[in-house]
Amino acid sequence: MAVVLQDFSWKRMIEAVEAVRERACRATAALKTASIPYAVAGGNAVAAWVARVDRAAVRNTQDVDILIRRSDFDSVKIALEAVGFSHHNLMGVDCFIDGPNGSPRNAVHLLYAGEKVRESYPVPSADVSEAVPAEEYQVLSLEALVRMKLNSFRDKDRMHLRDLLGVGLLDDSWLTRLIPEHAERLQQIIDDPDG
C-alpha cells in the first residue's frame, strides 16, 4: 500500500494530541458519571506523572488504556457506547473504537484489574483502588504504574520507564521494593538509560 503524505503541519500534530485527550476525558467522564471505578494506565498515565516534573519530557501516545474490574464490564460497555464508542474484541483485547470512522490504533483499550494481561507476566495488573486523582481523571499510582510497565516490559514500556527515570520519578531506591524479576528489569533500565 502506498503511503500518502500530508503537508507538514503543527496543526495536525496538535490535533492528534488533542484527540487523545478528548477521547480519554470523554471515556473517563462517562465512567465517573456511571460510578464505575477505573484508572487511566499506560502511556497516558506515564505522561501525567512525567508532566508533574517536566512537561518538556512528556511523550505522547495514541491510544487510551483504562483499567477496570472485569465484573464492571457490562456497565462500562453501556457507559462508553452512550458517549459514541463501539465495542470490539480484537485479538483477545476489549477495546472501544471512537465512532464509525475510528481505528483500533487510537481506541480505548481495557485492562482488567487483578488479572494478567499475558499468562507469562510475573504478576497480575494493579487494582483500580490504586488510582489517584489527576486533573481530569483518575490515574494509576506511580507504584502501580511502574509495576505494570515492568510486568509487560515491551519496547514502549521500557521507553516509558526511561521517561520516569529521566525526570527522577524512578531510581535505584525502587529496587528493594520490587519482586526480583521486576528489580532485575529496572536495573537493566538504570544501567542503560539511553536504551
C-alpha cell belonging to residue 37: 471505578
CB 112 within 8 A of CB 126: no
Q: Phi, psi (5° rounding) for residue 32? A: -65, -45
pLDDT score, position 192:
93
pLDDT score, position 187:
97
C-alpha cell belonging to residue 136: 481530569
> pLDDT band at residue 40, thresholds of 50, 70 and 90?
very high
Instruction: Please check the confidence at residue 105 and state whether its pLDDT lies above 90.
Output: no
> pLDDT band at residue 1, thresholds of 50, 70 and 90?
confident
**15-141 adopts what CATH topology?**
Beta Polymerase; domain 2 (3.30.460)
Instruction: Please check the confidence at residue 54 and state whether its pLDDT lies above 90.
Output: yes
Output the average pLDDT for the chain.
95
pLDDT score, position 76:
98
What mean pLDDT is predicted for residues 20-47? Answer: 97
Instruction: Please check the confidence at residue 106 and state whether its pLDDT lies above 90.
Output: no
Residue with cell 531510581: 171
What digits encode the pLDDT tens for the residues 124-178? 999 999 999 998 999 999 999 999 999 999 999 999 999 999 999 999 999 999 9
CA distance 125 to 167: 24
What mean pLDDT is predicted for residues 54-74? Answer: 95
Other CB atoms within 10 Å distance of the CB of residue 23: 24
CB 108 within 8 A of CB 16: no
The upper half-sphere exposure of residue 139, i.e. CA atoms within 13 Å in the direction of its Cβ, equals 23
pLDDT score, position 55:
94
Torsion sign (Cα): 73, 45, 140, 36: negative
Alpha-helical segments (H) within the chain = 10-33, 42-51, 73-81, 142-152, 155-166, 180-191
Taking CA atoms, 17 is separated from 42, 52, 59, 152, in Å, by 15, 18, 10, 24
What mean pLDDT is predicted for residues 104-113? Answer: 94
pLDDT score, position 100:
85
Instruction: Please check the confidence at residue 29 and state whether its pLDDT lies above 90.
Output: yes
CB 90 within 8 A of CB 104: yes
Boundaries of every domain in the chain = 15-141
Instruction: Please check the confidence at residue 195 and state whether its pLDDT lies above 90.
Output: no
